[in-house]
Amino acid sequence: MTLSELKALIGKGRMPTLEIHAFEGIIYLVKIITDVGETMLKKDDGDNQVFKSSTQAGIALADAGGMTACIVHQCAYDEVIGHEPCHAEDPSLRTPMDLRLLAGLG
């Protein structure tokens, strides 16, 4: 799904779940979850749309009409001394992002 397709979907009142996945703090990809399945946000050529920050991804999603997203980070607590290990069934951390605060910044 491209940004224009996402905007059209949201315009029809069908708000998907939006997740911004962080990889090594330098690559951010967007997962779009609808009632029919999941897909990654794509460029017009079919490649994954890659963002350089969660803010950059959030601005793009806000401009498409998104209201909220969740930033998904891989859990590194088990690598840090003094922290409890992450749960094995979901080793990710989730941080909510209010996209309405980013609207118009793009």
Residues 80-91: tens digit of each pLDDT: 555 566 655 565
Chain centroid, CA 88 distance in Å: 22
Residue 75 binned pLDDT confidence (cut-offs 50, 70, 90): low
> What pTM did the predictor assign?
0.84
Task: List the beta bridge partners of residue 17.
Answer: 33
| pLDDT tens digits for range 21-64 | 998 878 999 999 999 999 999 999 999 999 999 999 999 999 99
**Are the C-beta atoms of 73 and 102 separated by less than 8 Å?**
no
Q: Looking at residue 31, what is its pLDDT? A: 98
